[in-house]
Chain A
Amino acid sequence: MGTQVIETLLLLTLSLLGSGQDSSLVFIPGGEMTPFYSVGSQQVRVEPFLLEAYPVTNAQFLRFVLRNPKWRRSQVQRVFAEKNYLAHWTGDLSFPPELADRPVVNISWFAARAFGQSIDRRLPTQDEWELAAQASETSPQGSDDPDFRQRILTWYSRPTANVPIPVGSVFQNVYGVHDLHGLIWEWVEDYNTVLVTGDSRGDGELNRQMYCAAGVSGTLDPGDYAAYMRYGFRSSLGPNYTVKNLGFRCAADMAWKEER
């Protein structure tokens, strides 16, 4: 009974402080894009969708685990999250207060997905995330801008801070989405999609083109080394992995607003 009172109080405090509210969704117009893994300049069509303006914070995630005890640090099943899950928290329902507006990290793909489902959202697909992340402050095609690329690469080359800085403190792109680069890595729904090892009709090509002999030069755009790193990083993950600079943000289909 005592713990229930404490948990209710915690929820109440969170809502009074306005922290832990769902992040606002930003419209991403969609469009044709050439994914990094593309073979022979094959384009994919990304339908318009909604993407959260900020990565999910520790405060937001606390609200989620309050309501969903099976995702608490002490209760989560190992198949869903390895033992460093929420390792930066001090307990099942506590973390140092200054972390409230920092992006939640040490989070597994399963946990990120469950969070999304709890608020009728989902993880963005890899294509959706990459399309949104091409945008700089001023252009949807920021990835064509050498300066923008260089800034991303500079961030990648810096060692990871032990604690990420608050959300919203890196940059806002032309759509109004914050921190797609420069803060943390982010989970996507189909992280386990490329770098397939087997083949159905010689599609092991995918593999070779990206990672073997030719290295980056086999892929579409040899200048986009940052994308190469992202695809490589994702393909090294398992669904219960937790990494100290890997978090997530949610997305939603266009129908989301009309349903509400």
Chain B
Amino acid sequence: MRKFIQICLVLAWSITLLGCQRSSPTGSPSAHSEMPLPGESIYNLESRWLDQSGREFQLRSLRGKAQVVAMIYGGCQGACPRIIEELRQVEKLISEKSSEEAGFVLVTMDPEVDSSERLSALARQYELGPRWRLLRGSQEETRELAAALGVKYKKISDTDFAHSNTITVLSSSGTVAHQKQDLGGVEKSVRALEEAVATKDLCCP
């Protein structure tokens, strides 16, 4: 019986909370995160990550802002510096207003080598600001996120990977808003990101 009362109390409490959030006029991030994720959202992945400061990180905490996502590895001499550069270009080219509603995510495909410290050094090297997250997961989780993003990669030597140069724009709820497989044409990502930010304003006032 006591348990039953406890459950009732919890229920009543959650209903009160929900009520508050519905009536909140500002559309705070917490109200946003209470809504169920769309089935197509990549944030349905329950994998756990570490960011460049070594903090535990779940993908769904990216929710609420549009994100530009790419996969790289620290030891990469070829395409990865260009991928990072392209994401930096996007950050520079979007309007100031949109940039507050956008984030940038780099995920290492080489978690064995790319420790949080190495990712942190990479962030410093490229002068990546506070809107950037550099993530590292387990091999399995990395494979899983790559699959969900349509990124193909393969370790081809002790130090190198062959990989696609996929740049993905995610909506504020984690669905794929835009994707391109080749480097160059940065304005497409910029436009997609601006749109993702604008759509968010429409959907979640």
Query: Which residues on A are within 8 Å of B, measured CB to CB?
Result: 77-80, 109-110, 113, 122, 189-204, 206, 235, 238-239
- Chain A residues with CB under 8 Å of B154's CB are 190, 193-194, 196, 206
| Interface hub of A77, A113, A204, A206 (most chain B Cβ within 10 A) | A77
* Min CB–CB distance A253 → chain B (angstroms): 13
Given A79-B148, A193-B152, A200 contacting B164 (CB threshold 8 A): no
Instruction: Say whether A197 contacts B44, CB under 8 Å.
Output: no
Considering the complex of A and B, which 4 residue pairs feature the smallest CB-CB distances, nearest first?
A203-B162, A198-B165, A78-B39, A239-B147
Query: Quick one: given A192-B146, A239-B148, are A199 and B78 in contact (CB under 8 Å)?
Result: yes
- Shortest Cβ distance from A206 into B: residue: B162
B151 to chain A: closest CB distance in Å?
A: 7
Secondary structure call for the B interface: loop
- Residues from chain A with a CB closer than 8 A to the CB of B153 are 192-193, 196
Q: Is the CB of B79 within 8 A of A198?
A: yes
Q: Which residue of A lies closest to B154 (CB)?
A: A193
**Which residue of B38, B146, B164 is within 8 Å of A197 (Cβ)?**
B164
How far is the CB of B73 from the nearest CB of chain A, in Å?
9
Residues of chain A contacted by B183 (CB below 8 angstroms): 198
Interface of A (DSSP majority class): loop
B41 CB, min distance to chain A CBs, angstroms: 6
* Chain B: minimal CB distance from A173 (Å): 27
Contact A198 B39 (CB under 8 A): no
Residue of B nearest to A197 (CB): B164
Complex CA–CA separation, A196 to B79 (angstroms) = 13
* CB proximity of A24 to chain B, nearest CB, Å: 24
Interface residue? B122 (CB, 8 A): no
- CB proximity of B201 to chain A, nearest CB, Å: 24
* Residue B80, interface by CB 8 Å: yes
A residues near B32, Cβ cutoff 8 Å: none
On whether the beta carbons of B146 and A201 are closer than 8 Å, the reply is no
B60 proximal to A (CB < 8 A): no
Asked whether A238 and B150 contact (CB < 8 A) given A200-B79, A203-B156, the answer is yes
- Please tell me which one of the listed residues A77, A78, A190, A196 contacts residue B164 in the complex, with CB atoms under 8 A apart: A196
- For B180-195 the 0/1 string (1 means CB < 8 A from A) is 0111000000000000
Is B77 among interface residues, defined by CB-CB distance under 8 A? Answer: yes
* Neighbouring A residues of B163 by C-beta, 8 Å: 196, 198, 200
Interface centre among A80, A190, A202, A204 (most CB of B within 10 A): A190
Beta-carbon contact of B147 and A192 below 8 Å:
yes
Instruction: Sample 5 A-B pairs with CB under 8 A, ordered by A number.
Output: A192-B147, A198-B166, A198-B181, A200-B78, A204-B162
The 8 Å CB contact of A77, one of B44, B140, B152, B182, is: B44
Task: Give the Cβ gap from B137 to chain A, nearest Cβ, in Å.
Answer: 15
Tell me the residues in window 137-174 of chain B with beta carbons closer than 8 Å to chain A beta carbons.
140, 143-144, 146-148, 150-154, 156, 160-166
Does B128 touch A at the CB level, under 8 Å?
Answer: no
- Chain A residues with CB under 8 A of B77: 200-201
Please tell me if the beta carbons of B164 and A198 are within 8 angstroms of each other in the complex. yes
Nearest CB of chain B from residue A237's CB, rounded to whole Å: 9
Asked whether, in the complex, the Cβ of B39 is within 8 Å of the Cβ of A200, the reply is no
A109 to B146, CA, bound (A): 13
Report B-chain residues with C-beta under 8 Å of the C-beta of A79: 39-42, 44-45, 148
Q: Which residue of A lies closest to B38 (CB)?
A: A78
Q: How far is the CB of B25 from chain A (nearest CB, A)?
A: 31
Known: A79-B42, A199-B162. A190 touches B79 (CB 8 A): no
User: Chain A residues near B38 (CB, 8 Å)?
Assistant: 78
